[in-house]
Structure 1
Amino acid sequence: MLRTVSVMILLAYSMFSCAQEKKTWVTYPGNDGPGKGRNIVFVSGDEEYRSEEGLPMLAQILAVRYGFNCTVLFSTDPKTGEIDARYQTNITGLEHLQKADLLVMLTRFRELPDAQMKYFDEYVKAGKPVIGLRTATHPFNYSRDTAGVYAKYSFNSEVPGWEGGFGKLVLGETWINHHGIHGKEGTRGLINGIEQDGKNPILNGVKDIWTPTDVYSIQQLTRANILVYGQSTNGMTPTAPVNLEKSVMPVAWTRTYQVPGGREGKAFATTMGAAVDLLNEDLRRLIVNACFWAVGIEKQIPEKANVSFIKDFKPTMFGFDNFKKGSFPSKYEMK
């Protein structure tokens, strides 16, 4: 009887240990390529734009085709490890930022605990490169702990020196509003001809961008170099005519950043980037090119980067709470 009880205890402990050790992120080791030896950390976590689907796809391309070591992190339920886009207070694995050469993020209104947030803080203070997609202009919202040490990262921060929070200081803009009609108007990308004529390598092979997400309002960008402007389209198809009654807005740019007490770094931002946006080949190419630029190998950007999918990619349409429930990070492993 005692032997049976002991075996049961050991079995229960083993099962508990396995559960504890279950990774809530996915890693794609890099093949040979210009990015070999460089580490990119992708951080997903938004309720609406399916970053948990789009970022693994981009990471696979960069790992398989261009040699980057890529790790993708998710918003997960800490009790189950299940991906939960609504869970705003947990993204495990952020310690990977300690060895990251590049951070690519699409998060929205997260409020992470200090033990996790410190890795973000250390990363940007070190002036390391950042790429922000869509809601990365408003990635944090400290509405629960408004007096916390990292509340200054909030999109609506009024802390002196941190006005506008992470989005404003690092990417150049915080959340303003929808310039286009959300869910009714898309974005037609207008390539900045000056940058194109100047042979900006980030625009290599980038000609035709259209996305179903709408244009965001941008009030003022500083220290920024605009690569693509966005025109609202009267409809959500690539052939929809542009809305000439609306002004254009920047939708992709590069800039330098420096947070208080930190070193200077560089950033690329685009207000496009929902999973369904990434069906557009030239948007994927723009982001892949930006990754080369961010880690300092812009001279190796191909004339037309191969950004074809590694696995079938059938993204979920954007919308609140329509993420695929019951999914775990292991779903995105390459078998």
Structure 2
Amino acid sequence: GAETWSILEHNDINHVMLVGVHTNMCVLGRPFGLRQLSRHGKDVVLVRDLTDTMYNPAMPPYINHFSGTDLIVEHIEQHVCPTISSEQVLGGKPLRFRLDRRPHIVIMIGEQEYLTRVTLPEFARQQLYADYRVSYVFADSENPNYFHDIDQIADADLLIVSVRRRTPPVAQLKFVRDHIDAGKPVLGLRTASHAFSLRNNSPPSGHTSWESFDGEVFGGNYQGHHGNKEKDDERTLVWRSSPPDAPLLAGTNLQGETPTTSWLYKTSPLRPGTNVLMMGRVGQRQPHEPVSWTYVHQGGGRSFYTSLGHPDDFQNADFIAMLKNAVDWCVAP
């Protein structure tokens, strides 16, 4: 450690990229590692695709070896220093280990109302990391129409969308369009029905909307909600409308009508070809509305949409089971 530090100081090196093994041992904890370099003022980053973790999947948390590395990288990003990937320096594509055959899920988040920047990563940690490689595309906090690392969608096997009324730059939205045109699956949560819609307003110069995204991708027909969002309003009641053996509702215990905090979206009528899994109502209001369904989108790939997604829904075991089933169904051959 002292020798490494002396070399850096003698050559006036303040910007350091660390690679190598093992991420959770030497790379992080040695005297020349990330923690010490950051603590002593060096501008240090981990090159996250050029490292590997010492982890045995037979030990807790019992996940894929490469998912273990992802968890360590996530810890480093939250508590130690930023990370980059090799193609940001060298060009080309990031390194992927030959034995890492996990399907790649990209979760695109750009909404403030339902806190999916918190709930979706936690869902992924608990439900997806064992079997999938998960990456995130977050909207910028200062420029909400700009999405960081959106080029990751080009490598996605599944795109999960939790975005509300954003109009990205044309080149950024093209990654979403290309994913769909390639026939790849899409999963939408709640505000994804109006992810790129501005209610007939014009986007800023150089940016673009996609007003028909809901219908073309999910077969949906979002027209607002039933207004039961205040604390004293009637709760939304949901129930299964699919056969008892429907695979996307396997592991759920939906018996009769179940209350949910998510206020009910107006989604009917859906496009032909949708397969409705759950319905919902508010008191005696009409019509009853589809709440969860599947569709084959305009690119020929599978899509799943649910108008649920309030933070309270992520505390509901039936919702979690349905969402995990939907991910597996979307990615299945």
**Common fold by TM > 0.5:** yes
Provide the secondary structure at the position in 2 that maps to 1:176: coil
Equivalent AA in structure 1 for residue 305 of structure 2: A
Corresponding residue for 1:288?
324
Alignment partners' CA distance in 2, 1:244 and 1:182: 16
Q: CA deviation at 1:62?
A: 3.0
Alignment partners' CA distance in 1, 2:313 and 2:247: 22
Residues 114, 205 of structure 1: CA spacing in aligned structure 2 closer, same or farther, 3 A cutoff? same
Corresponding residue for 2:64?
31
Corresponding residue for 2:294?
254
Pick aligned residue for 2:250 from 204, 209, 212: 204
Greater length-normalized contact order (CA 8 Å, ≥ 6 residues apart):
1
Q: CA deviation at 1:16?
A: 10
Residues 42, 230 of structure 1: CA spacing in aligned structure 2 closer, same or farther, 3 A cutoff? same
Corresponding residue for 2:163?
107
Question: Deviations for 1:208-254, whole angstroms, at most 9, x for unmatched residues?
Answer: 3532111101132111000000122xxxxxxxxxx134432100000
Alignment partners' CA distance in 2, 1:45 and 1:186: 26
Corresponding residue for 1:53?
118
Corresponding residue for 2:81?
none
- For the pair 1:177 / 2:224, whether they are aligned, the reply is yes
Pick aligned residue for 1:229 from 257, 268, 279: 279
For structure 2, the residue ranges without an aligned partner over 5 or more in a row are: 1-8, 18-40, 49-61, 68-99
Alignment partners' CA distance in 2, 1:147 and 1:30: 45
Alignment partners' CA distance in 1, 2:169 and 2:10: 38
Alignment partners' CA distance in 1, 2:328 and 2:16: 45
CA contact (8 A) 2:236 2:280 kept: yes
Provide the secondary structure at the position in 1 that maps to 2:174: helix
Q: CA deviation at 1:11?
A: 4.0
Equivalent AA in structure 2 for residue 45 of structure 1: G
- For the pair 1:88 / 2:149, whether they are aligned, the reply is no
Percent of pairs with identical residues? 27
Alignment partners' CA distance in 2, 1:115 and 1:7: 44
For structure 1, the residue ranges without an aligned partner over 5 or more in a row are: 1-5, 23-28, 78-83, 158-164, 233-242, 298-335
Alignment partners' CA distance in 1, 2:278 and 2:243: 10
- The count of aligned residue pairs is 250
CA contact (8 A) 2:221 2:268 kept: no
Corresponding residue for 2:237?
188
Alignment partners' CA distance in 2, 1:245 and 1:105: 29
TM-score scaled by length of structure 1: 0.65
TM-score scaled by length of structure 2: 0.66
Residues 187, 245 of structure 1: CA spacing in aligned structure 2 closer, same or farther, 3 A cutoff? closer
Alignment partners' CA distance in 1, 2:43 and 2:203: 32
Pick aligned residue for 1:76 from 140, 149, 173: 140
Equivalent AA in structure 2 for residue 207 of structure 1: N
Alignment partners' CA distance in 2, 1:266 and 1:219: 20
For the pair shown, the structure with the greater C-alpha radius of gyration is: 2
Corresponding residue for 1:320?
none
Residues 9, 175 of structure 1: CA spacing in aligned structure 2 closer, same or farther, 3 A cutoff? farther
Residues 221, 170 of structure 1: CA spacing in aligned structure 2 closer, same or farther, 3 A cutoff? same
Residues 63, 13 of structure 1: CA spacing in aligned structure 2 closer, same or farther, 3 A cutoff? closer
Corresponding residue for 1:312?
none
Provide the secondary structure at the position in 2 that maps to 1:277: helix
Provide the secondary structure at the position in 1 that maps to 2:152: helix
